[in-house]
Homo-oligomer: A and B are copies of this chain.
Amino acid sequence: MTRRVGLTTERLTQAGAELADEVGFDQVTVSALARRFDVKVASLYSHVKNSQDLKTRIALLALEEMADRAAAALAGRAGKDALAAFANVYRDYAREHPGRYAAARLRLDPETAAASAGVRHAQMTRAILRGYDLTEPDQTHAVRMLGSVFHGYVSLELSGGFSHSAPDSQETWTRMLDALDALLRNWPAPPNTPLTHTG
């Protein structure tokens, strides 16, 4: 009378990601996942250390998927083309997989983060900037700014911030990418830093 369902860590992670997209990342619960497999809750604990572990795995999966998409999108592109393609990966992924996207924003402990696809993603942001004429430290500033805009925009859009108001979100997105491209092509020099300023 023993029925084996074939649980594995991978299947749980995958199903957890789907669950996240359906009901939201913070509704992802060991219990809900057990229900989905029609299995008792305790059974999951052989495959997953605990709830935190499960969520971390979903986050890593999401980071991996986003980095893969980004790599594919960047292939053969440069300059504004690359910038737009990269940005669209962000937005499209978040729209297709809101739960996974939320998971990707989970705070990972430093070692986990360092071993994640997040670093690959960051390197790609830097690669995009090679199409512009930025040198350190401005390149780092720009990397951080792009990360902020993309994450911020997607996050606000996802929480409904831009719906039900004109102009529509797509238009803002396009114009914003134009603006960012223009900014990167024309990155301002640091303002005068008065060092020994007499008078």
Contacts and interface: CB of A to CB of B under 8 A. Distances in A.
A58 to B, nearest CB: 16
Given A26-B26, A150-B152, A141 B176 contact: yes
B107 A159 contact: yes
A175 B153 CA distance: 20
A153 to B, nearest CB: 4
Interface in A147-183: 147-153, 155-156, 159-162, 164-167, 171-172, 175-176, 178-179, 182-183
Contact of A141 (B141, B149, B150, B171): B171
B191 A178 contact: yes
A121 to B, nearest CB: 12
* Secondary structure of the A contact surface, majority rule: helix
A23 to B, nearest CB: 14
A174 B179 CA distance: 19
A6 interface: no
A150 B148 CA distance: 7
List the 8 closest pairs (A to B, CB-CB), nearest first: A152-B152, A148-B152, A148-B153, A182-B188, A151-B152, A137-B167, A141-B175, A183-B183
A10 to B, nearest CB: 27
A138 interface: yes
